[in-house]
């Protein structure tokens, strides 16, 4: 159910959403109740005005973009691209020695990046924004925002009611979509994946889910395809070919075997939130790890539906993950700790601490190095030790 009070919801750490409308900020440790009172008209108006300003104001130039809070990392061939607070996107063509700030038409916080080739990429973030680039991240154009997403959801719900006017599910979806429109563009997107330069998928808070088949020129609402009647937040996305996994709030795990045309629920032994899902070794292995709240992690085979607990000895929430050396996986927690899970025997060993604090975005790059992004900026680190290189990350 989309209409839930933001003051009661669980998010992957409040600092990940620190620029989201302050009156609506969530508390990480508290799971949301199934129902809540709607927001008042004054709060809706304030949120709509703030969202409109951020969506129409370009990201301001900064002196040291890689020292700002960053949440996402990706690569476009050898170029490193990072994104974060207030619409800030920066890129480096020399493994982090120097950086340039990209031209971005919005000033909302950006949460995720996806590049499908050396030129074409997408960024998503707060206020439902979707941005696209065709020049490897040097400049970006807005394709969609939360207001348009709400209208898409409303249009899909009206069609469902027209087809089945007596359906309780259809009526509920219509009510939720109407509330989404009334709330304004205040819901964030959390993950994005593109299969090709034309076909892509985005997910976000309150069950937001959209698909494009034409490089983002148009988007289709597919939130109604996901079995998520409570409108739980969708945080993490894993895609390999036609296999799609989505994980989210209160133990939600769903999967598709046909490229997001249909989804089925996967039974979860844990009722806390999952913040991400990653593969162990190559994606072809089908060996996955789902991770999230309070250090909980589970192994999952893409060929089965059983989640097996993976003891890590961590208490802080797991925020991000990346393939590591020798088919291992590196998991990053909210205390800045990094652990390696072996791809052969599943053993766990601590690697060290991140130089940027809690890692919100990570990608392999520059040989055996990794790019990590967090509240203290961006660093290029050794993947086996987390020791940062000598680069100071200067700006051109």
SS3 label, residue 182: helix
What's the pTM value of the predicted model, to 2 decimals? 0.88
State pLDDT tens for residues 282-328: 888 888 999 999 999 999 987 777 899 999 999 999 999 999 888 89
Whether 349 has a pLDDT exceeding 80, the answer reads yes
Mean pLDDT of the chain: 87
Q: Check residue 356 and give its pLDDT.
A: 95
In angstroms, the CA 16 to CA 7 distance is 15
Helix (H) or strand (E) holding 212: strand 209-212
d(CA 246, CA 288): 12
Neighbours of 327 (CB within 10 A): 15
Architecture of the CATH domain 6-395: 7 Propeller (2.130)
* Cβ-contact 26, 13 below 8 angstroms: no
Which is more confidently placed, 4 or 91?
91
Half-sphere exposure of 134 (CA within 13 A, CB side): 7
Q: How are beta strands 394-395 and 98-101 bridged, if at all?
A: parallel
Alpha-helix runs per DSSP H in 96-202: 146-163, 168-183
CB 352 within 8 A of CB 338: yes
**Can you give the pLDDT at residue 40?**
54
Q: Domain segments of the chain: what residues?
A: 6-395
pLDDT digits (tens, 9 = 90+) for 65-84: 889 999 999 999 999 999 99
State the angle between helix axes of 168-183 and 146-163 in degrees (0 to 180), rounded to the nearest 10.
Answer: 160
Q: pLDDT digit string (tens) for 155-210? A: 999 999 999 999 998 999 999 999 999 999 889 999 999 999 999 999 999 999 99
DSSP code for 208: -
Is pLDDT at 49 greater than 70 in this prediction? Answer: no
Indicate whether 11 pLDDT > 70: no
């Amino acid at each position: 159910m989309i209409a839930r009070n933001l003051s009661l919801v669980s998010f992957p750490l409040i600092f990940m959403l620190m620029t989201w409308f302050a009156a609506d900020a969530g508390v990480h440790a508290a799971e949301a109740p199934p129902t809540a009172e709607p927001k008042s008209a004054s709060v809706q108006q304030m949120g709509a005005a703030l969202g409109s300003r951020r969506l129409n104001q370009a990201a301001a130039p900064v002196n040291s973009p890689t020292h700002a809070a960053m949440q996402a990392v990706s690569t476009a061939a050898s170029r490193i691209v990072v994104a974060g607070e207030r619409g800030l996107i920066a890129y480096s063509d020399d493994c982090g020695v120097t950086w340039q700030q990209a031209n971005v038409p919005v000033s909302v916080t950006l949460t995720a990046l996806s590049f499908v080739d050396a030129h074409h990429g997408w960024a998503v973030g707060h206020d439902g924004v979707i941005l696209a680039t065709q020049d490897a991240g040097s400049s970006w154009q807005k394709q969609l925002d939360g207001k348009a997403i709400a209208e898409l959801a409303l249009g899909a719900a009206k069609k469902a009611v027209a087809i089945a006017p007596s359906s309780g599910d259809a009526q509920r979806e219509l009510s939720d979509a109407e509330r989404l429109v009334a709330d304004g563009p205040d819901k964030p997107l959390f993950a994005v994946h593109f299969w090709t330069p034309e076909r892509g998928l985005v997910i976000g808070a309150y069950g937001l889910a959209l698909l494009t088949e034409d490089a983002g020129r148009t988007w289709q609402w597919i939130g109604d395809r996901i079995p998520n009647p409570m409108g739980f937040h969708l945080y993490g996305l894993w895609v390999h070919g036609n296999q799609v996994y989505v994980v989210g709030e209160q133990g939600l795990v769903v999967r598709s075997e046909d490229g997001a045309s249909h989804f089925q629920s996967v039974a979860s032994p844990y009722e806390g939130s999952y913040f991400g899902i990653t593969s162990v070794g190559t994606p072809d292995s089908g060996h996955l790890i789902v991770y999230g709240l309070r250090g909980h992690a589970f192994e999952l085979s893409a060929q089965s539906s059983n989640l097996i607990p993976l003891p890590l000895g961590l208490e802080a929430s797991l925020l991000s993950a990346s393939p590591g050396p020798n088919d291992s996986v590196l998991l990053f927690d909210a205390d800045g700790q990094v652990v390696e899970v072996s791809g052969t025997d599943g053993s766990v060993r601590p690697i060290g601490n991140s130089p940027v604090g809690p890692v919100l975005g990570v990608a392999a790059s520059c040989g055996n190095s990794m790019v990590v992004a967090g509240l203290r900026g961006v660093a290029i680190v050794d993947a086996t030790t987390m020791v940062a290189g000598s680069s100071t990350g200067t700006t051109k």
